[in-house]
Amino acid sequence: MTKIIDGKLIAQNLRDDLKKEISQLKEKHNKVPGLAVVQVGNVAASSVYVKAKTKSALEVGISIIDHHLEDKTTQEELISLIHKLNNQENVNGILVQLPLPNHMNEQTILDSIDPSKDADGFHPLNVGKLSISSKNDDNLLIPCTPYGCLIMLKGLNIDLKGKHAIVIGRSNIVGKPMAQLLLKESCTVTIAHSKTVNLPELCNEADILVAAVGRPEIVRGNWIKNGAIIIDVGINRIQKEINGEIKNKLVGDVSFSECEKKASAITPVPGGVGPMTISCLLRNTTIAFKNSIK
């Protein structure tokens, strides 16, 4: 029987553990981790994400330093704010909500964050540490979505060593760091993407398939072998006929109804990888806090 991996439950368990740890840290050091959340403009989706991240942070005992800037804020003004946050003792993690307005260079902004306060794990220095470290060190600030995927895989209580893992997607946010994390678990890793030749045949060799390509339901049931583990990172909004009506629906990069029949374990969309991302952001903030008081 296929196991449906419950991302909501795993994410809640992680937050519960963080809440206990932060309570102990507060008792010992008389302070708690602080997360600065910076949003520029009023993109509706960004506001929803920021609200969810803020709510979860407060739930575990992390203090929030909120900065909501106008869309017309210049890149120089944003970098100036980040430099101030870099020097604030009560700020241990800095999150700049993406996307940013078109007049800003996202990489320049992310590069201006102090690597030791990089809650998203996107700074080149942290990317480099992830690449050269020999294991998935608990002190590393790791991109949140791929680390959440790894937690899910480890929660299945299987031996990852030697498993053939295929990652569809080569983004800096998910695909590349996901491959690095799986390599450190001694998986044999293949990175594929939308231009990979014979992608269905390649995926059919995977013991573990991580889909993060951003194409609705591109992975079909005949792409995977029996017993494969499927982690679906995709979040796509499509229109679908449901009971004779055209409705908006969230789907992943995997055809869940087809692949569920063959997989040994699979993440749903929604309710799979998504909730893990926020919990891992809180994990990074807590790690940054602990690193600062060593």
Catalytic machinery residues: 53, 97, 120
Q: Are strands 236-242 and 245-251 parallel, antiparallel or unpaired?
A: antiparallel
12-33: b or e for each residue (b if 16 or more CB lie within 10 Å)?
A: eebbeebeebbeebeeeeeebb
User: Residues 166, 178: contact at Cβ < 8 Å?
Assistant: no
Residues in the chain: 294
Q: Is 239 helix (H, G, I), strand (E, B) or coil?
A: strand
One-letter identity of residue 95: L
User: Residues 35, 65: contact at Cβ < 8 Å?
Assistant: yes
Q: Per DSSP, which regions of the chain are E strands?
A: 3-4, 34-40, 63-69, 93-96, 164-168, 188-192, 208-211, 229-232, 236-242, 245-251, 265-266
Give the Cα-Cα-Cα angle 128, 134, 138 (nearest 5 degrees): 80
Q: Is the dihedral of CA 230, 271, 1, 216 positive or negative?
A: negative
Take residue 286 and report the two structure tokens written for it. Answer: 């807590």
Residue 129 and residue 132: Cα distance in Å, rounded?
A: 5
Residue 66 and residue 145: Cα distance in Å, rounded?
A: 22
User: Residues 282, 93: contact at Cβ < 8 Å?
Assistant: no
Residue 257 and residue 233: Cα distance in Å, rounded?
A: 16
